[in-house]
Every structure is written in C-alpha cells, then in structure tokens.
Amino acid sequence: MQTTTRVAVIGGGVVGASVLYHLTRLGWSDVMLLERSELTSGSTWHAAGGFHTLNGDTNMAALQGYTIRLYKELEEITGMSCGLHHVGGVTLADNQDRFDMMLAERAKHRFMGLDTEIVGPEEIRKIAPITNLDGIIGGLYDPLDGHLDPSGTTHAYARAARMGGAMIETHCMVRETNQRPDGTWNVVTDKGTVHAEHVVNAGGLWAREVGAMAGVYFPLHPMEHQYIVTDAIPEIYERDAEHPHVMDPAGESYLRQEGRGLCIGFYEQTCAPWAVDGTPWSFGHELLPDNFDKISDSIEFAYKRFPVLERAGIKSVIHGPFTFAPDGNPLVGPVPGMRNYWSACGVMAGFSQGGGVGLTLAQWMIEGEPERDVTAMDVARFGPWISPGYTRPKVIENYQKRFSVAYPNEELPAARPNRTTPMYDIFTGMGAVWGKQYGLEVANYFAQDGEPAYETPSFRRSDAFAATAREVKAVRQAVGINEVQNFGKYRVSGPGARAWLDGIMAGRVPDEGRLSLTPMLSPRGKLLGDFTISCLGAELFHLTASYGAQACHMRWFGQNASDDALVENISDQLTGFQIAGPKAREVLAACTRTDVSDVRFLDVRRLTIGMTDCIVQRVSYTGDLGYEIYCDPMSQRALWQTLWAAGEPRGMVPFGMRAMMSLRLDRFFGSWMSEFSPDYTAAETGLDRFIRFGKNADFIGRAAAEAERAAGPARRLVSFEVDAEDADVHGYEPVWLEGEVVGFCTSGGYSHHAGKSIAIGFLPADRADEAPEVQIEILGKMRSARVITEPLFDPDGSRMRG
C-alpha cells in the first residue's frame, strides 16, 4: 500500500468517492481513499437512489442541480452506467400554505435557471395517473427529478478518480488519525500507516467514530429509514413511459417506478434514531429488520393516495440507517480549530448532494475558497456549544419535518431553550416570544395581553404584526431596549493588533475611542463578514459581527493568525443591551454620573452605569439615536434594573428582532446572510464605501476589490417600495423588468414607521441608475415596485448622528 499521500479520504461511500474524484478533477492526483470494506459499505448500497434539486437554501439547490447534471458527464468520462432514469417528478400540494411554498420555490428557480413548473390537478392527473387527487390543489413539477443506481454511480466516481491518478485502498480500516507537529497526519490503518497532508472524514454512518479519532465531535445522527418495493402492477408496466416520481408531503412519502412495480418510502412521524451511542464497527452490508408498525399510518395514507398500492404484493422492504445533521444539510469544509482536517459527512441525500459536496470540498482545499456561498452546509455553522444531547432531538425533528412546509418566520421547537442569558426569565415575564440564533434564545417580539404568545408560521404578514408595529413606534417616538447577546464579539490584543486588523479587514482601523465599520474580504473579494471595530487602547480592540458566523470567523482568523496579535472569541463573555430612540441619550444620562452629551456618533467609551462597568458604543442598526452597552453577563441583571428604572418613566419598551428588522429597512441597512454574504462583493453591495484603498496595508482581497472598482460591478443592490398586499418580500423573489427576470431580492419586509412594504435586491448595474419601475414576484403574484433612494426615516442622518 502507498504510505504517503497529499489527501487521505476516509470512507468509500458515494460522498468519499465524489470527493476523491473532484480532487483529481481540480488537479490533485496524489490522493487516496481508504475504505474499511468494499466501496458503498455504509448507507450508500441500500439507498433508493432518488435525486432532486429542491432545497430551501438557494445555494444548496444550485449544488444539487450541479450533482444531477454531473452524472451524464461521469458516464461519458468512465464509460460506466450510473443507471440514470430522468423521469421527472411532481410534489403535491394539499393546502394553500404548501402551495404558497411551491410558488415561492418556483419564483426562485426563475433566476436559478431551473425549469420547474406549477401544475394544476388536471396536469397532475396526466403526469401521475395513479394519484388520487382528492384534496390536491396543485403541485410543482421538476423535469430534473429522477433516480439512479447507487452502487454503479459510486463505482463510476471511483473509476473517474482512478483515471485522474487517485489510489483506492479497500479492506483498509482506519484505526487512528494522529496529527504530527507540522500539521500533517499519520493515518493508522490495518494495512499500515499513511502519512497524509490532509485528512477528509467521509465516514458516513461512522463519521462520529472517525471524528472521535481526531478528538472532534461531528453533530450528526443516524436515523432508521424504510422503503418498500412492490410486485408488478399492471397500471405501471402497461404504460408506454416510466412513471415519474411523486412526492406527497401530506403522506410524508416519495414514490417512483421500480422495475415493473413501484417503490415508496416514508418519512414517518414515529421515526427512530439508530445507534444512539455509536455505530458498531460490525455493521456492514446488512439491513435492519422490517418494521411495519412504525410506518402503518403512512402506509394507510399511501393506500388512499395511490390506490394501486393496496392491490400490490410486497416484493422487498429496505430498512437501513443514514445520517442527518441537526438542520438536515451536510457538514462540509475545514473543521474549526483543526489544521488540515476536513469534513464531508452528514450527507442525508448523497445522490442529490454528493457531487456538490465533492466539488465544494475540493475547491476549498485546492483553491482556498469555494466558488459560492456554502454557509448552509459549512461544518462551522454549529459552534462549540453543540452536543449529542442537542443533536439527537434536532435530527429527529428534522426527519419528521422533511416534507413539512418551511416558513420564513418559523421557529422550530426541538432542543429549546438551550442557551439563554440572565434576561431570559425577566423577558419571558414581559411577554417575550422567543426565536433562536446559533443555539441562543433571542426575543422576536413582546406579546401583550390577548396577543398570541406564539407566532403562527406564515408566508404572509404574521400575527406578530401588531406587536412589531407597537415596538417600532416606541423606538421612533421614545426609546426601546433589547439585548446585544446575539452579536459575535472578539477581542484583539497585543503589539501587532492594529497591523493584523489592517491586513485582515478592508476598512479603516479606528483611532482610540472611535469605531469604524468594515467589510472583511476573501482573496477573491467576496464578503466574509461586516464588522464594527472599536479601539479601546493602543493594543486593544473589540470586533462585533454576526453571532451565527462565530465559528467561521474564528476559523478564518486562525488561518490568518499573527504571532503579535491575540484574537479571542468573547461572544458569550460580553452581553448587555442596546437602547435606541430619541430619548436614548436622556436615559443614558440618567444612569451615569459621566457627562454623555459629548459622546459622538461612532465613539466608544468606558462608563459606569449604575453599579456596572460597561463599554458603550454609539452606533445604531435601528437608524436612530442609539447606544450599545456591553457588560459581563454576571452584571446584566443589575444593568437591566438601572436602565429600566430610568427608561420606563420615559416610555421605554423592550423590542425584539422583528421590530429591529423593520427599523433597519427604514434606512435600507443590509443584514448578514441576506444582503451581505460570501456570494457577493463589497462593490455589489455598497460596502466598498467602507474600504480604505488608500491605507498602507496589503489587506486580504485588495487586488480583487481594486479590479472590481476599476471595472465596476455587474450588479448593484438597490431598495424598492413594493405595492404588496398581505405578503412582503422575504428573500430570493425574482425582479422582473420588461418581461424578463433581471435580478432578485435579498430581503425585505414591512416598514411600520413608513407604512410601506420594502425590498432590497440586485439589479444589473447598467439599469440600477435608471431607477426603473419593476415587478417583484411574491407568492406567484406580480407586484409593482419602484427603486427608492431616500431613506424612509431621518434621511439626512441628523437623528442618528446628532
């Protein structure tokens, strides 16, 4: 066996094989796959082999499209068959909410270049005549849906990889992964030790065990899953063409033709996690015992939806395990806190996603960054707070909700509350309705007497509308307060702190006592973060950014570390409040003996507020006069009492994220992962105004940002006022101009201050200045929209800066 390699991929399922192939495709031939048994010896061999493009995340959907298109190419390269059946598929809608979701999906597909179609019951009858259409109001047809031969496809990836120079070692169990001092790895196998520069965990069902060999916990869990293959059915084998796929979310089933009969699988509510305490190494090419009790309700439902099933005999039952991450998306990329250790696991739909996972991982490893934003499957989207006790209920919830409608305002209940601040009980007592970010409870709004203490999930304006309006009004007319627990916070210190910041951030590093706003760029000029930097001393800075991006940011800081600057993640070591509104200064002044009248916009000060030593930043995401007040969590309740005692008589109200997201629209402020994400550049999003091209530092992304400045961006972010009715823009709605889709929305909502529906989105740069009248497609309806440039509140910034 070869004993050195650039990359050791552990696991020869469809995912490991795809990773190996993509590494060779991007030019690395000295790569090796280690498989403890034969290829496909985990979940892969017993998969139903179905594939589809639908995914709630647009970038995941694009990667699924890539995976499906790849199979033809793989067949051509290798001369092997993947057993492709491109039969198309229809997903049924039995209620308006589900249909609304399809309308929103269909709208997204317009700018993604996917040819899905909304179909009515009559068309469904023609597409899938065995379907009982009682109660069906429509469906979404995708011509790309189909299925393949799981084993043939995995072997085709493997052959293509071998053709590119890769080695595959089967019957080669990996026992240990030990890191050498230089960051490379000794991969200890039954056949000897392989010295590898990089290790990829593609261990599938055993990814937890493989991770543990390197001391890493991977948040994934196997679930049992069953599908049934029937005997021959005349209504199927007498057809001229193969029957397409039918997904019936109401029955939690997927169905397709298999030979002369049908194959139907279920995502049952009575589901069961498998191998809770670890996957046995003895498990291999075997199945779990049939369990009809678990799926009896689902089968009964399926008999009604597809009556031919009731008359069909059962030919075989496949019952096997496969893994899920807590949100159902794969875990891909460089593992935070590790050197040269990569994840390619948690892939629950290997035949829809495996190609995209392989491509992403290979691009990341070889080119330094993936070509598109892959946050939805980045292994760093979960932080160090994640545990098996959290993962298991979330995975069960995810399995149960596999076919559920996913609403933009939905807060999933499993594993909550998990992480809370000292304010949790106080705010709960004041009516807080909680959401969750990165495991942390965050108030969405405060319900008052008679208002629902639960926000009903909806694509339209929700029942939080009145509460949100009330909170917005209080902020604009008096003063509002909410927590700043959900900001990512970092301390940068040491003699090289300023120089390090100058190199990693594209913007200005502020002088002592001041703040600055800055984008952080990748070498290709993509946005990796939008930060506030505050300078607390010659060698001491604080950074704030998105809470959910902590592990991504720390990974990037670690990859670009300096010996002279210490970077610490203090996100949960600092909490506090922001107060915003015309009376915010008066409240602050009433809480401290220091004169705060000269605290200017973008100043940072250390102040004692009541009993509590705080860092106070004059900055505002509400667009109003505002202060962020940070303290240590042990002092947060004391700080609250001080601020509330001063604020309540002045009309202070607590406000939540719903109000915050409405307030920021008044000044068209973008938000992370909506307007600002690794899909976009600074110039496209307007963040280039914060880049300091004149600074004497070769910051990361400078060359790309300069090139874009010279050429001008191809698209630009603009804001629209939309003639909406009861549904506002959420994100990814297409923007139509003169009968063509020319852009898409990044986010939107209702400005309660202005009483207007607002959207933010991209237009081609050459059309953006014309401020054209456009149409935005919301839930299948064309809504007129106009580009607006003047903020809806405080257009000259006098209140925010004054």
Ligand X SMILES: Cc1cc2nc3c(=O)[nH]c(=O)nc-3n(C[C@H](O)[C@H](O)[C@H](O)COP(=O)(O)OP(=O)(O)OC[C@H]3O[C@@H](n4cnc5c(N)ncnc54)[C@H](O)[C@@H]3O)c2cc1C
Q: How many CB atoms lie within 10 A of CB 757?
A: 25
Q: Where are the beta strands (DSSP E) in 115-179?
A: 117-119, 138-142, 146-147, 167-169, 174-179
Taking the least distance from each CB to ligand X, the nearer of 349 and 484 is 349
Taking the least distance from each CB to ligand X, the nearer of 348 and 643 is 348
The answer to whether residues 584 and 624 touch, using CB atoms and an 8 Å cutoff, is yes
- Number of helices and strands (H, E) in the chain? 22, 37
CB of 735 to ligand X, least distance (A): 33
CB of 204 to ligand X, least distance (A): 2
CB of 383 to ligand X, least distance (A): 23
CA-CA distances (angstroms) from residue 613 to 183, 240, 534, 605, 686?
A: 42, 78, 17, 11, 36
CB of 775 to ligand X, least distance (A): 36
Q: 710 burial class (0-12, 13-18, 19+ CB within 10 angstroms)?
A: exposed
Taking the least distance from each CB to ligand X, the nearer of 33 and 616 is 33
Phi, psi of 694 (to 5 degrees): -80, -5
CB of 212 to ligand X, least distance (A): 10
CB of 281 to ligand X, least distance (A): 8
CA-CA distances (angstroms) from residue 21 to 15, 25, 163, 172, 222?
A: 10, 6, 9, 19, 26
For the chain, the 3-state helix, strand and coil shares in percent, each to the nearest 5, are 30, 30, 40
Strand partners for 488: 545
Q: Is the dihedral of CA 680, 686, 691, 692 positive or negative?
A: positive
Which residues lie below 8 Å from residue 708, measured CB to CB, with a gap of 6+? 525, 681, 682, 683, 688
Taking the least distance from each CB to ligand X, the nearer of 332 and 718 is 332
Taking the least distance from each CB to ligand X, the nearer of 133 and 317 is 317
Taking the least distance from each CB to ligand X, the nearer of 357 and 785 is 357
Q: Which residues bind ligand X (CB under 6 A)?
A: 10-16, 34-37, 41-44, 46-51, 173-174, 202-206, 210, 225, 227, 318, 320-322, 345, 347-352
Taking the least distance from each CB to ligand X, the nearer of 136 and 347 is 347
CB of 318 to ligand X, least distance (A): 5
Taking the least distance from each CB to ligand X, the nearer of 143 and 633 is 143
CA-CA distances (angstroms) from residue 797 to 117, 584, 624, 666, 793?
A: 46, 16, 8, 12, 8
CB of 184 to ligand X, least distance (A): 19
CB of 377 to ligand X, least distance (A): 13
Gap between the Cα atoms of 187 and 706, Å rounded? 43
Taking the least distance from each CB to ligand X, the nearer of 295 and 663 is 295
Taking the least distance from each CB to ligand X, the nearer of 344 and 616 is 344
CB of 225 to ligand X, least distance (A): 4
Here the tokens at position 64 are 């699924």
Taking the least distance from each CB to ligand X, the nearer of 49 and 328 is 49
Q: 118 burial class (0-12, 13-18, 19+ CB within 10 angstroms)?
A: middle
Please report where in the chains the tokens 């068309």 appear, as a residue.
123
Taking the least distance from each CB to ligand X, the nearer of 196 and 787 is 196
Convert 17-62 into a string of H (helix), E (strand) and C (coil). Answer: HHHHHHHHHCCCCCEEEECCCCCCCCCHHHCCCEECCCCCCHHHHH
Phi, psi of 407 (to 5 degrees): -95, 150
Q: 389 burial class (0-12, 13-18, 19+ CB within 10 angstroms)?
A: exposed
CB of 68 to ligand X, least distance (A): 10
Gap between the Cα atoms of 32 and 167, Å rounded? 5
**Nearest CA-CA partner of 763 in 737, 728, 788:** 737
DSSP 402-421: TTS---TT----TT-S-B--
**Helix 150-163 with 14-25: angle, nearest 10 deg:** 30
SS3 of 164, please? coil
Taking the least distance from each CB to ligand X, the nearer of 43 and 671 is 43
Gap between the Cα atoms of 570 and 549, Å rounded? 13
Taking the least distance from each CB to ligand X, the nearer of 36 and 767 is 36
Gap between the Cα atoms of 782 and 505, Å rounded? 40
CB of 112 to ligand X, least distance (A): 20
CB of 379 to ligand X, least distance (A): 14
Taking the least distance from each CB to ligand X, the nearer of 221 and 585 is 221
Here the tokens at position 227 are 């599908």
Please report where in the chains the tokens 């076919």 appear, as a residue.
403
Gap between the Cα atoms of 731 and 724, Å rounded? 14
Residues shown for the chain: 802
Taking the least distance from each CB to ligand X, the nearer of 24 and 41 is 41
